[in-house]
Amino acid sequence: MNLPVEFTERMKMLLGDEYDAFIHSYEEPRHFGLRVNTLKCDPEKFERSAPFTLTRVPWILQGCYYVKENTAARHPYYNAGVYYLQEPSAMTPADVLPVEPGEKVLDLCAAPGGKATALGARLKGSGLLVANDISAARARALLHNIETFGIVNAAVTNAVPASLAERFPGFFDKVLVDAPCSGEGMFRKDEDTVKAWSPDKPARCAAVSRSIVLSAADMLRPGGMMLYSTCTFATEENEEVIAHLLRERPEMELIPVPVREGFAPGIALPGADPAVAKRCVRLWPHRIGGEGHFMALLRKAEDASFVPSGTFSPSGAARGRSGSGSSKEEIALIDGFFEGIGFEGGAAALAGQSRLKIASSKAYLVPEAFPEISGISILRNGLFLGELKKNRFEPSQSLALALDASLCSAKVRFKPDDPALTRYLKGEVLEEGMMEGRTQDLSNGWKLVCVDEYPLGWGKMAGARLKNHLPCGWRLS
C-alpha cells in the first residue's frame, strides 16, 4: 500500500520500536466482521447455526470474524437484521460504554448506524436512543439500519450538535461521540481514505471534534458517562481533544476503560498529565485483529451545576402528552390488523414505554422519554407502525422487522436457500404453489414473510397469490 510520507514519518515518531510491526500490518489482509443482533438472536445460537464459518472476536461477545468469500451482505439473514456488518475494532466503543436498559442514550455522530444499532440492542426496547447525524443523506441510511435491526425506542435526528445541546441540556445518561476524523486507522480497510487524506486533515478534523465534545458533555446529566472515539492515530484528534475537553469542562473526569485483550494505552502529550494517556485506549492493527481506533471514557461529576441556556428543560419533558390524537375507529383498525395476523397481545405487546400517536393517518409508537421539542429535523420518532387508508390499516416495513415471528400465526417461512425467497426479496409476486409447506394459512390477508424465524417483510394473500409488499428500497437488485 502506498501510504503518504507525512503519515509514515509521524507514525515512526509515535511508535518508535513498534513501527516496523505496525507498517508490516498493512501487508496483511483486512479483517471482516459482523455483530449479532441480540434483539433477534443469541450470539452462541447464531454461531452454531450460522450460514458460514465464523470465529469469535475475542474482546466482543456479539462479534465474529468471517471471510470475504462468504458474501455475508447477500444472505437473507442480513436483510432480516440478524447481524450488522462491522469492522471488529469499530464494534468496541459501543461495547465499552456501559449502557443499561431504561437509560436515555445519545449517539451524536451515528451514521451509518453500526454503533447506534449496538446501543439500541443493549437497551432491549426500554428507555430511549437518540441517533443523530449532521448529514441528511447519512441520517436516512441510519434510519434504514435502525429499522432493519428492529429497534422500537429510537428517535433519528438530523441536526448539528450545538442545536441538540440547546434542546437537551443535562438530559442523557450516556452519550457516544464517534467523531468525524481523518480516518487514518482505516487505511488498510479502505484505500479511498488514503486518497482523501492530507497533512492538514487531522488538524481540521480536530477543530470540529473540539466543538462536538463540548456539546456532548453539556447534554450529559450529572453522573452521566460519555465515550469519545475516533478511527485515527493523530494525537491532535485523540488525546489533545480529550485534554481540551477536560480544560473547558472541569466537571468531566476521565475514567479508566476496562482492559481487554489487545488494548493499549494512549500516547502521552508533552507537558500534559500522564494520567490522561494511561486512561485512554488505543487499538493498533499490529496488536489486535482489527483496524486502528482510539477511545476515552468520561464521567460528569454528580455535583455538576453548569447547565447551558436552551429551549428545553428536562423537567418539562413529559408535558403536552395528554392525548395521542387518535380516534376509537383508528385504534380499532390497528387492533383489527394485529388480530388478523394472530399477533399475541396486539399493539399493546409492542408498546412498552411508548404511546400510540397518529398523525396525518400514520401510526407510531413514540417513546415516552422523548421530549416535545421543535427547531430540529426529526426523521423518525419511535416505531412507524403503518398507515390508515380508507377504513383499513397497511403495516409498515419497520413493523415487520420489529415483530417476534413466534408470536404471529399468519406467516410464511422460507429457508435461506429457497428460490421462492429470492423472488420475494426481488419484489416478485408469489404463486400459491411456491408456498406449499411454508405456511399453514393460505387465507386472504396479511402474512409476515420470514426467513427461518426472522421477519423480512409483508405479503398479502389475494386468491392464490401472495402480493409482494416489500418496499422498493428494501429489495435485492
pLDDT category, 326, cuts 50, 70, 90? Answer: low
Q: 385: closest CA among 359, 351, 362, 404?
A: 362
**Strand stretches in 184-287, DSSP E:** 220-230, 252-255, 264-265, 281-283
280 is catalytic: no
Percentage of the residues of the chain whose pLDDT score is greater than 90: 83
Task: State whether residue 287 is helix, strand or coil.
Answer: coil
Cis-peptide into 112, omega within 30 deg = yes
Please tell me the pTM assigned to this model. Answer: 0.94
Task: Classify domain 407-474 at the CATH class level.
Answer: mainly beta
Distance CA 400, CA 395 (A): 8
Catalytic residue among 64, 109, 231, 450: 231
Distance CA 63, CA 34 (A): 6
- Condensed to tens digits (0 to 9), the pLDDT of residues 275-285 reads 889 999 999 99
Distance CA 100, CA 286 (A): 32
| pLDDT of res. 436 | 85
Percentage of the residues of the chain whose pLDDT score is greater than 70: 96
For the chain, give the number of residues.
Answer: 477
Q: 401: closest CA among 477, 469, 476?
A: 469
317 has a pLDDT exceeding 70: no
Distance CA 477, CA 467 (A): 19
| pLDDT of res. 320 | 31
- Condensed to tens digits (0 to 9), the pLDDT of residues 177-203 reads 999 999 999 999 999 999 999 999 999
